[in-house]
Structure 1
Amino acid sequence: MKRSAALLGALALAATAWTAGTAHAAPASPAGVRQTSVSAAQQSAAERFWTPERLRGAKDVTNAKDMTGLPAATGTAAARTTAAPATAGPRLAVPPVAGPSTTAGGEVTPMSSPTAWNGGGLISTTAGKVFFQNSSGGTFACSATVANADNKSVVLTAGHCIVNAGTGESYQNWVFIPGYNHGNRPFGTFSARVLYWWSGYVSTGGNANWDFAYAVVNTVNNRSLVDTVGAEGIAFNSPTGQHVHSFGYGGSDAEGNGEQLNHCEGTEYPDAGRGDSTMWGIDCVQSGGSSGGGFLSNFDTGAGTGYLVGNISVSSGNNEYHPYLGDEALTTYQAAGAA
């Protein structure tokens, strides 16, 4: 089956390195984990950079062709460097954390096409939009979700929303806005202080099996991200074939042009489009801008709580897929949580 990365191929663009700062330097990462630290001055600059005008002008991340004129990655074995499947070690689940501003949700109708999320609950505060800039000055938007971690400051997103898979250089002026809604920033703008990704994502030139990443963000008003909005749980080496829910800020007219949180759900199945794929997907697809949004298992639609088991990465036809969070994703998460 021919697959197109309609959401979401690697952001393959000519980039210059984002100078890593020395302030708040993160601990050295374990083997296989890559990181970029951001200086305090760069963090402050990122917060100032994202004016309302720039938020409105940011382009929803779709694929490499949109950014460089290169052909979009197909996802076929011939077009991608083959990578070993993700390893599967012991299962680990970190529970969600209710936020001080969380309100109970209401009834939610199951959907197999993206629909505005009106259910409230924790996901309405823990899901949010990511904004960043490339070295050519272009501004872009993705999605992300707060994941419970020791430092209360971690968000899960897609690798292609953090790093150029062609060069290994990370993006700049990177911020996360939880609860984003039609330009509103109800909890503030959280700038990244460290960005983390798995080395296999870059060494394979953007193989979507490794298209997960984490950002460790600053405090706002001296409060951590989790203390401000709560956190979803996150699970590693979890069972597959589960009923899952996905959330993102798709940029189509039907999805509110990237200004509202949207929702899909379905029972996941393995990706049959690539011989080397370890990804799982559902019969629903969100459009550009939803890249990095969370897939959650054991999701309680009333409370808006669940366990992150992946992030929106690639699409094919009416399906969207997430990388499996195995040992590599766990190692990267642990490095982010210790920063």
Structure 2
Amino acid sequence: MTRTAVLVSALTLCAMGWALSPAHAEPAPHQDDTRITSFSGQEQDAALEFWTTARLRAAEDVTVAAATGGAVAPSSAPADDGPELTVPPIPAPASASDDGRAADPDQVSALASSPTPWKRGGLIRKTSGKAFFQNAAGATFACSATVAGSRDRSLVLTAAHCVVDPATGQGYRKWVFIPGYSHGRRPFGTFTAQRLFHLKRYVTSNSRDNWDFAFARMRKLDGRTLTGTVGAQGIRFNSATGRHVHSFGYGGTPAEGNGERLNHCRGKEHADTTRPGSTMWGIDCVQSFGASGGGFLAGFKEATGSGYLVGNISVGNGTTEFHPRLGNEAKNLYRKASRG
């Protein structure tokens, strides 16, 4: 299908007008940096009904924001490190079979740093997916996301700019996640978000990209949790950097399948030394609009498609895609999201 690119930054996307929205930001305790957008059961039912196949295909892919040198002020972020936390992957149940189609082998860019179709199955094909949402002006958009192992068995990791408007701090609405999405198909169904979790400092900080991660807690579908349906990738906080990592997303260019297939990058990550105040890490491979929020995984096994989430696709500079490091603040946000 042909898809119109969103040729604006995440800030421009989010700055489109806000009218009445059923989503509401819950007040957080004093000095608590967590911000939560909640949806009632009625709002979730409406979201499920709203996302028809036609609307999925009409949704515009969110742009991976440009990481431009000199545009970011020196970081005011405190030291964000502490004890490591590792949550292991959770295998998919035997009933969760692969979609059965390999990624399209054609239309792959010749650039050495370009993403390529993920031709294998495994856990990553089930746990990667697309998130769809709407702004108050009625425009619809899509990002990428990944199921993360958690005690509530219902979390996905994505980018903060895929859940909240940084200009206003208001969360997006009609937020759903489709694991294993491929060419309009929903092999495991459509899960609706109960709550979206991000950090206030993503909205308020001059170095917001460092905090461009978020979690979404999904409602059960037909009595089954998200992880109980497709499994989950592991996740690591405060872990070592400079690793060999893999990234996955649904890029929206023709070379990436117009947002309809899962694509793959890999390489040794390096620190972002191009922008003052950045604490991000990246690899020399760039996925385009629609890949925002897709997972970066370390310890990834291509044979099984499983590994450990260490970040999500956030910004790019034309040659490198970067992810925020999952430190103490991400760990605290994850724990709160896991508790619901």
TM-score, L = length of structure 1 = 0.88
- The match for 2:334 is 333
Q: What is the match of residue 190 of structure 1?
A: 191
Conserved in 1, the CA contact under 8 Å of 2:72 and 2:277? no
2:158 matched to 1:157?
yes
Q: Percent identity?
A: 53
Question: Where do residues 285-300 of structure 1 align in structure 2 (5 Å cutoff)?
Answer: 285-300=286-301
The residue type equivalent to 2:233 in the other structure is: E
CA deviation string 1:246-292 (max 9, x = no partner): 00000000000000000000000000121100000001000000000
Preserved contact between residue 112 and residue 266 of structure 1 (Cα < 8 Å): no
CA distance change for structure 1 residues 172 and 259 in 2, over 3 Å: closer, same or farther? same
Q: Is the 8 A contact 1:29 1:35 kept in 2?
A: no
- Alignment partners' CA distance in 1, 2:287 and 2:66: 18
Which residue in the other structure is 2:3 paired with?
none
By how many angstroms is 1:76 displaced?
Answer: 3.8
Shift of 1:317: 1.5
Matched residue count = 322
| Runs of 4+ with >6 A deviation | 25-30
Distance 1:262 1:298 in 2: 18
2:215 is equivalent to residue 214 of structure 1: yes
CA RMSD of aligned residues (A): 2.7
Q: Which moved more, 1:118-127 or 1:9-18?
A: 9-18
Corresponding residue for 2:108? none
5+ unaligned residues in a row in structure 1: which ranges? 64-71
Structure 1 segment 69-80 matched on structure 2, within 5 A: 75-80=68-73
* 1:20-59 equivalence runs, <5 A: 20=23, 31-59=32-60
| Change beyond 3 A, Cα 1:282–1:131 | same
- Which residue matches 2:106? none
CA displacement at 1:113 relative to structure 2: 2.0
In structure 2, the CA distance between the partners of 1:249 and 1:142, relative to structure 1 (3 Å rule), is same
| Partners of 1:77 and 1:276 within 8 A in 2 | no
Partner of 2:83: 90
Measured after TM superposition, the shift of residue 308 of structure 1 is: 0.2
* C-alpha distance 289-180 of structure 1, shift in aligned 2 (>3 A): same
Distance change in 2, residues 1:203/1:162 (3 Å):
same
Aligned to 1:12: 14
Q: SS at the partner of 1:244?
A: strand
Are the structure 2 counterparts of residues 86 and 316 from structure 1 closer, same or farther at C-alpha, using a change threshold of 3 Å? Answer: farther
Which range moves more in the overlay, 205-214 or 160-169? 205-214
Structure 2: where are the runs of 5+ without partners? Answer: 1-5, 104-111
SS class of match (1:333): helix
Aligned partner of 1:15: which letter?
Answer: W
* Deviations, residues 193-230 of structure 1 (Å, cap 9, x unaligned): 00000111011267100000010011111100000000
